[in-house]
Amino acid sequence: MRRHAEDVSALLQAQKTRFLLVCALCLITFVLLIFMFSPYFSISEIHITGNQRVSEEEILARLEIDRGTHLLLFNTRAASERILENNFIGYANFERVLPGRLQVHITERRLTAYAEQAGGFIFLDDNGRVLDVRSYMTDSLPILDGLQFTRFALGEILEVPDPEAFNVIVQYAQLLNHHGLIERVSHINVADATNIRINIANIEFNVGGITDADEKIRTIAAVLYEMPNVGQIPGFMDLRDRHTDYFFEILQ
Which tens digits make up the pLDDT trace of 12-34? 566 666 765 666 566 555 555 55
The pLDDT of residue 241: 82
User: Would you say residue 38 has pLDDT above 60?
Assistant: no
Ramachandran area for residue 224 (φ above 0: left; ψ -120 to 50: alpha; else beta)? alpha
* CA-to-CA separations, 76 to 6, 98, 171, 245, in angstroms, rounded: 58, 16, 34, 57
Please give the model's pTM, rounded to 2 decimal places: 0.81
Mean pLDDT of the chain: 86
User: Would you say residue 3 has pLDDT above 90?
Assistant: no
User: Would you say residue 235 has pLDDT above 60?
Assistant: yes
User: Would you say residue 147 has pLDDT above 80?
Assistant: yes
The pLDDT of residue 16: 60
The pLDDT of residue 89: 97
The pLDDT of residue 5: 55
Q: Where does the pLDDT of residue 88 fall: very low under 50, low under 70, confident under 90, or very high at 90 and above?
A: very high
First to last CA, the chain: 123
User: Would you say residue 248 has pLDDT above 60?
Assistant: yes
Higher-confidence position of 106 and 246: 106
Q: What are residue 134's DSSP bridge partners?
A: 121
The pLDDT of residue 152: 92
